[in-house]
Structure 1
């Protein structure tokens, strides 16, 4: 009899087939978000769970599901998992880094450019029949991306990939990170280290690319937004909660910054309705990694992590300390 696993969200058929060679698979093919109770019920008796950020794998889950030995997250982030509790109970936890760097960097630049050039706002105006004057010199003016100053807060793999994209636009790139890059990497990327405060004060575009944790909660709040130039644009493709949504809405309403491009939100999928009233923000529903190839590769890596762990081998992306 094969050991049982739970795949808590819908994944590609080939992933289910791959896992079924080794396990009895309970696949949530309807893709409903499981409540905490539903998750615990379906994971009962399972040795592994493959999940997404929508599933909260906390102490209560581990207490209710003592047979679970591996939690494989289909994401780079893992703030949905109580890793300390997992480690205490001897449960391995894994994530899927690396396979989504380029795709997320592409989406970050998509948001940056769409916000700078007011793409969604002007398309909406066009659809509403507001284009009356044809070509008009001072109508719907945006901001240039080329030669602009880009500040990146959080210089991990995705941050570095964004910096490489910026070089194609001849942008001046500064970055802030807990640990500065070595001189050779800085030279290769053509970036310079700066304080977070300097980046906020000087940049035309501020991109935040840090994981979410208690240390990064509201890393960008009212005080940080107050440092930014009135012409500056804020981009968040990292995690909701890294930015204070209420403070950001206030800054956008009062035109204290020029705009924002957001892929993530504090209480997603719930969205603060005040965002919907603003023309100077581009909103997309957490699609940073949402291409077919990338999401498939994420699921493949998550399946590999889970399979190797349950076969008694060290998974390639173990996040336990």
Structure 2
């Protein structure tokens, strides 16, 4: 039997040694480094047996319409808003993601951002680099505070939200959360408090951290009205999806002094070109923002171990479904309704 053809449209110069080692001669990976689907010949879209897509390309309904032979799309990662899952459902194509990698890395990253801000590490480093004598000073650093006893508010209490909540609790913070999709009683097992509304969480929290997928209902879940509801002097952390936060409104909330600080690992447009006002102010190290903002390049998920897990599990999901009919981590239930 000839190998099945797996299209990888946006591999971003990554080798596929890991995937090929797992798949052996069962799968033939056709690799591109593109962000525009039209850069890939239609014939390749129409003849592939599966698609392994990262986060750099959007599989819109027009692209899905070309997938004449495709039996499975695997999103190499957790967030799957770059795949039109509804269009795949209509075509009878299941979509899977890889939720069981990087959880601890993302949780660690969120707490690292919080500690970086509240312990003044960026400010102290900058001062010492400038002058070892006058910079040898603990006082007058923005945001530095005790976090013990503060309230950590998590919007979303899935795998990553839970991991971050446990870490915040270990720092002696009071943890509260809101999540309408988690069954009642989940909070009892964790020993934390569930609140009824996002508005209540925003008003009570010293730190607000986001852990929800991006969808039409969650886009700009934190905009100007929500930032105004946040506690004066509070901190916002987003290691989830960039489209959850209106970064222009965040710029205004920080510049006005209403928010003390923010940490972002994700942005609505990545790379952020042209840069939004907040990112430009950070790049220029404008005095009003210095020490109050930290940005990383959508890297919270990354470690060598997590990267290996993500790629390994993606290849295994393909093999299990294409050769054994076992579907894992499906994110568009009802895809098989046409066959029923």
1:289–1:147 CA distance, 2 compared to 1 (3 A): same
In structure 2, C-alpha distance between the alignment counterparts of 1:198 and 1:315, rounded to whole Å = 39
1:16 to 2:15 alignment:
no
Cα displacement (A) at 1:198: 1.5
TM-score between the two structures when normalised by the length of structure 2: 0.87
Once the two structures are overlaid, the 10-residue window that deviates more, 117-126 or 202-211, is 117-126
- Residue ranges of structure 1 left out of the alignment (5+ in a row): none
1:76–1:146 CA distance, 2 compared to 1 (3 A): same
| Counterpart selection for 1:84 from 79, 83, 86 | 86
Q: How is 1:108-257 mapped onto 2 (pairs within 5 angstroms)?
A: 108-129=110-131, 132=134, 134-140=136-142, 142-183=144-185, 185-194=186-195, 195-257=197-259
Cα displacement (A) at 1:150: 0.3
Question: Which residue of the partner structure matches residue 318 of structure 2?
Answer: 306
Once the two structures are overlaid, the 10-residue window that deviates more, 197-206 or 301-310, is 301-310
Aligned residue for 2:232, secondary structure, equals coil
Deviations 1:137-184 (A, max 9, x none): 44456122222110001111111111111121111001011145533x
| Counterpart selection for 2:328 from 299, 316, 320 | 316
Q: Output the aligned Cα RMSD.
A: 2.0
Cα displacement (A) at 1:290: 0.3
Cα displacement (A) at 1:221: 0.5
| Counterpart selection for 2:267 from 260, 265, 268 | 265
Q: How many residues align?
A: 317
In structure 1, C-alpha distance between the alignment counterparts of 2:154 and 2:263, rounded to whole Å = 14
Cα displacement (A) at 1:84: 0.8
Does the CA contact (< 8 Å) of 1:43 and 1:65 recur in 2? Answer: yes
In structure 2, C-alpha distance between the alignment counterparts of 1:170 and 1:88, rounded to whole Å = 48
1:35 to 2:41 alignment:
no
Question: Which residue of the partner structure matches residue 279 of structure 2?
Answer: 275
Aligned residue for 1:210, secondary structure, equals coil
Cα displacement (A) at 1:136: 4.9
Does the CA contact (< 8 Å) of 1:304 and 1:315 recur in 2? Answer: no
Aligned residue for 1:167, secondary structure, equals helix
Cα displacement (A) at 1:4: 1.1
- Residue ranges of structure 2 left out of the alignment (5+ in a row): 282-288, 334-340
Cα displacement (A) at 1:128: 3.9
Does the CA contact (< 8 Å) of 1:62 and 1:68 recur in 2? Answer: no
1:259–1:19 CA distance, 2 compared to 1 (3 A): same
Question: Which residue of the partner structure matches residue 73 of structure 2?
Answer: 71
Question: Which residue of the partner structure matches residue 292 of structure 1?
Answer: 304
Aligned residue for 1:182, secondary structure, equals coil
1:5 to 2:13 alignment:
no
Cα displacement (A) at 1:255: 1.4
Cα displacement (A) at 1:273: 4.7
Aligned residue for 1:297, secondary structure, equals helix
TM-score between the two structures when normalised by the length of structure 1: 0.92
Does the CA contact (< 8 Å) of 2:113 and 2:263 recur in 1? Answer: yes
1:11–1:101 CA distance, 2 compared to 1 (3 A): farther
Does the CA contact (< 8 Å) of 1:75 and 1:95 recur in 2? Answer: yes
Cα displacement (A) at 1:272: 1.9
Once the two structures are overlaid, the 10-residue window that deviates more, 264-273 or 49-58, is 264-273
Deviations 1:56-95 (A, max 9, x none): 1111112233222211101111101111110111111100
Deviations 1:1-43 (A, max 9, x none): 2221122312552222223421122134xxx343221245453
Deviations 1:217-258 (A, max 9, x none): 110000110111221000000101111111111111221100
